[in-house]
């Protein structure tokens, strides 16, 4: 997978694994990562799917309607890449925090729904429920921040609350942060994610 890697300045700081939104690329979330944890190593991925020329991490049939088979395939693809990258860049697999926005947050959600110990925690900006009718793995010890907009036309509050319930039901510790905004990632939401990180994930 196309990606960008930046070495961290603090060895024990969690590595941030970044997943952009639709039409983004591996550089989009670098400023967000530096806002969250300036000392962390950063591994930022570019989605392998193109929708009208816009990179995504998996296909969709329509807005809000996921191609489930492709989502499952791409979830396995990303996991395999991360295992390879861990060796290539000498990353501690037990100290990863995933950070994603929109489509990127949704692929992280699918990774959490499939693999128990892939991430120590996750910061999900405007995610949806990636899959239904699936038994989640045990997620005790996994910490998750969800940033959501109360007026989000793509991801309504009921969707956000359902995702929180599913993750919490699997044992994850979930913090839900609401913005009086739509689908955009606001500065105050980014700041809230940074505060959450310092309180919940900064230490090994």
DSSP designation for 3: E
**DSSP states of 110-133:** HHHHH-SSS-SEEEEES-----SS
Q: Provide DSSP, 48-112.
A: SEEETTEEESS-EEETTEE-HHHHHHHHHHHHHHHHHHHHHTT--TTSEEEEEETHHHHHHHHHH
CB 50 within 8 A of CB 56: yes
C-alpha of 19 from chain center: 6
Residues acting as catalytic residues? 102, 152, 183
């Amino acid at each position: 997978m196309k990606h960008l890697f930046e070495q961290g300045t603090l060895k024990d700081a969690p590595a941030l694994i970044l997943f952009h939104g639709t039409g983004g690329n591996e550089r989009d979330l670098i400023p967000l990562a530096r806002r969250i944890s300036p000392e962390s190593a950063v591994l930022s991925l570019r989605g392998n799917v193109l929708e009208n020329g816009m990179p995504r991490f998996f296909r969709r049939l329509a807005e809000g309607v996921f191609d489930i088979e492709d989502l499952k395939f791409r979830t396995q693809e990303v996991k395999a890449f991360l295992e390879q990258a861990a060796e290539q860049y000498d990353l501690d697999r037990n100290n990863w925090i995933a950070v994603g926005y929109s489509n990127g947050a949704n692929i992280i959600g699918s990774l959490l729904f499939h693999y128990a110990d892939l991430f120590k925690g996750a910061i999900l900006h405007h995610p949806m429920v990636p899959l239904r009718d699936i038994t989640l793995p045990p997620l005790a010890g996994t910490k998750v921040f969800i940033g959501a907009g109360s007026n989000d036309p793509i991801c309504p509050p009921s969707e956000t609350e359902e995702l929180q319930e599913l993750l919490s039901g699997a044992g994850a510790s979930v913090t839900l942060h609401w913005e009086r905004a739509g689908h955009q990632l606001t500065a105050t939401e980014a700041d809230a994610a940074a505060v959450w990180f310092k309180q919940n994930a900064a230490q090994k």
